[in-house]
Amino acid sequence: MCGIIGYIGPKSVVPVILDGLKRLEYRGYDSAGIAVVDRGEIRVRRVKGKVKDLEDSLREEPLQGTYGLGHTRWATHGRPSEENAHPHKDCSGRLVIVHNGIIENYLALKQKLRAEGHTFKTETDTEVIVHLLEKYYRGSLEEAMRAAIGEIEGAFAVAALAADEPDRIVAAKQGPPIVVGLGDGEFLISSDINAILAHTPNVVFLEDGEMAILDRSGARFTDFHGVPKAKTVERVSWSPLMMEKRGFKHFMLKEIFEQPEVVRDTLLGRMSLDTGRVMLDEIGIPEATLRRVRKAVIIACGTSYHAGLVGKYLMESLAGIPVDVEYASEFRYRDFILDPDTLVIVVSQSGETADTLAALRAAKDRCAAVLAVTNARSSSIAREAYGVLYTNAGPEIGVAATKTFTAQMTALALIALYLAQVQERMDHAALLEFIQEFQRIPYKMEKILGRAKAVEDLAARFVSFSHFLFLGRWVNFPVALEGALKLKEISYIHAEAYPGGEMKHGPIALIDEKMPTLAIVPEDRVYDKMLSNISEIKARNGYVIAVASDDDARIRERVDAVIAVPAAPPLLMPFLTAVPLQLFAYYIAAKRGADVDQPRNLAKSVTVE
């Protein structure tokens, strides 16, 4: 939920920290701060607002330093304010920290530390950490960190420096991510690799219970007891260029347009037109285990939950197994029942969503296997699952998920096909035909993207509306849910999605000229039923926009506007019907002047509960 960064090296530290914070800002952006060490003194600057506000402040009153820490915040404890912004100093001003996570026992610690004479200046949970460091500091920041985290309960990705221990940054991880960058004479810690890539592609991912100690000679790693840890250095293939907007006004629009490539990259090497087979050995789950699978449970949050719902329809239709889809935040607290023949699939683009990680841990030893679908290599969810199928979407900077949603549907479709293949539920001809049609989807997505201007012109007519209804049935109902979420989260317009069949059970009472409906109506098994829903809405002066197939001649006289998409097999239509809804939400939000890439109150990765 927050972004932390630290740098030691020959470069001027303030620009490095600021650039890193900009690349982390999608994780939280209600306040930001920096701490640098200058001639033995710790200098801190914090602002309520975005990194740009911090940059403006530093331009007016520069700070100099040779190493330091930075933080961009998504407030959990303590309202967004300069005082509550990180970094936080101890009473002496000789120690400073930045933190991502939640300290669950902070109130008890705060009372105890106050009783021991510590003065607190903020409302945050984080401040207890720096006072614990102060309590235990006897000249070794590393030892003080170990003692401090021994008293903490909760989740923390924390980094600290001490004025009396020059050129050293100490970090500790329990929950939220910490990545260490190993450059040429320069070393970084960060919440995300994209703040490191501008300096080095060589990274180490800290695991829970581990610490990193950085100085000008390098980085070493230990566990929380001080036992040295040998860590694997990974070379990240993403280029810094992939982080840039490449001429698009917003990252979100760029990522919507990247979707055809993302589908191709996620399919690459995993299915063959020659053999008509799906190759998913990489997931690391033996075929014998998959042959035993009699049920699947997909667990996720937000957009990933919607992708999971699409996966449900695909797995039921292709692999012939029953599938439940669960909100992770609900599943983890239920007295859920799983059996040894159930495959649990957790879906999370960030691989760090706290509720999804908790659900994974709860289910782990009570099912056949847990398979993670994630976009983040070496993420907590990737590491703790039994098997992993990575989506190859590249970094998604826009807080609103788009290309990772499509990538997740691609991965879930591959899993459905793989289960069908392993359990011999589909004959070879049917599997080959599906694979052939799947290969054509990116091209069809490109055709839709080529019509973006028509969607933009239509969206312009709805900029001032306050409510929207999204309808879909069968495999497109999850797409209606996703379309409503997109509109909500980036334009702040209230939007609801319903299965078309539910309209007559209440929602139709909402229909009037102020409540437009966006209906997803491809020519599939529920087409006629959707036409009936549309007629019921039109009969009540409702305005209806239809997302329909190019060659559908009937729809145009039934609705007020049509966004046409190429036809494809019904089970693959979500890949095509989702794109206009993403564009529709994007253009309305952009025309409303909303902060499309960093919508208010949101964060890209919800690593707290």
Q: Which residues bind ligand AGP (CB under 6 A)?
A: 301-304, 348-350, 353, 356, 399-401, 489, 605-606
The structure tokens 């692999």 sit at: 319
d(CA 86, CA 72): 8
Which residue lies nearer to ligand AGP by CB, 72 or 350? 350
Which residue lies nearer to ligand AGP by CB, 399 or 581? 399
Handedness of CA 548, 553, 554, 560 (dihedral sign): positive
End-to-end Cα, the chain, rounded Å: 10
Q: Which two tokens stand for residue 450?
A: 């080529």
Preceding peptide of 87 cis, ω within 30°: yes
Q: Report the nearest approach of ligand AGP to the CB of residue 599 (Å).
A: 9
| Beta-sheet pairing, 31-38 with 187-190 | unpaired
Which residue lies nearer to ligand AGP by CB, 400 or 412? 400
Q: How many residues does the chain have?
A: 609
Which residue lies nearer to ligand AGP by CB, 186 or 489? 489
Longest distance between any two alpha carbons in the chain, whole Å: 79
Q: Report the nearest approach of ligand AGP to the CB of residue 605 (Å).
A: 5
Cβ contacts of residue 22 below 8 Å, gap of 6+?
51
Q: Is 526 left (phi over 0), alpha (psi -120 to 50) or beta?
A: alpha
Q: Where are the alpha helices (DSSP H) in 249-391?
A: 251-257, 259-267, 287-292, 302-314, 328-331, 354-363, 380-384
Indicate the burial class of 274 (C-beta count within 10 angstroms; 0-12, 13-18, 19 or more). exposed
Q: Report the nearest approach of ligand AGP to the CB of residue 606 (Å).
A: 5
CA distances from 572 to 194, 315, 406, 409, 524 (A): 32, 12, 11, 9, 11
Contact 33, 86 (CB under 8 A): yes
Catalytic choice (110, 231, 488, 604)? 604
Which residue lies nearer to ligand AGP by CB, 169 or 373? 373
Which residue lies nearer to ligand AGP by CB, 160 or 602? 602
The structure tokens 């629009």 sit at: 253
Q: Report the nearest approach of ligand AGP to the CB of residue 400 (Å).
A: 4
**Which residues are 374's β-sheet partners?**
348, 390
Q: Report the nearest approach of ligand AGP to the CB of residue 470 (Å).
A: 15
Q: Report the nearest approach of ligand AGP to the CB of residue 229 (Å).
A: 27
Three-class SS of residue 155? strand
User: What is the chain's percent helix, strand, coil content, to nearest 5?
Assistant: 40, 25, 35
Indicate the burial class of 289 (C-beta count within 10 angstroms; 0-12, 13-18, 19 or more). middle
- Indicate the residue whose CB is closest to ligand AGP: 302
Q: Report the nearest approach of ligand AGP to the CB of residue 592 (Å).
A: 17
301 labelled catalytic: no
Which residue lies nearer to ligand AGP by CB, 158 or 401? 401
d(CA 264, CA 393): 10
* H or E element, residue 107: helix 106-115
Which residue lies nearer to ligand AGP by CB, 301 or 382? 301
Q: Which two tokens stand for residue 215?
A: 């100085």
Contact 515, 509 (CB under 8 A): no
Three-class SS of residue 156? strand
Three-class SS of residue 31? strand
Three-class SS of residue 95? strand
| Beta-sheet pairing, 387-390 with 467-472 | unpaired
Contact 197, 241 (CB under 8 A): no
Q: Report the nearest approach of ligand AGP to the CB of residue 286 (Å).
A: 27
CA distances from 364 to 207, 369, 375 (A): 18, 7, 20
Catalytic choice (2, 89, 135, 312)? 2
d(CA 576, CA 545): 16
Contact 410, 266 (CB under 8 A): yes
Which residue lies nearer to ligand AGP by CB, 496 or 536? 496
Which residue lies nearer to ligand AGP by CB, 354 or 518? 354
2 labelled catalytic: yes
d(CA 203, CA 231): 10
Q: Report the nearest approach of ligand AGP to the CB of residue 123 (Å).
A: 25
Q: Report the nearest approach of ligand AGP to the CB of residue 522 (Å).
A: 23
Q: Report the nearest approach of ligand AGP to the CB of residue 598 (Å).
A: 11
Which residue lies nearer to ligand AGP by CB, 293 or 347? 347
Residues identified as active-site = 2, 604
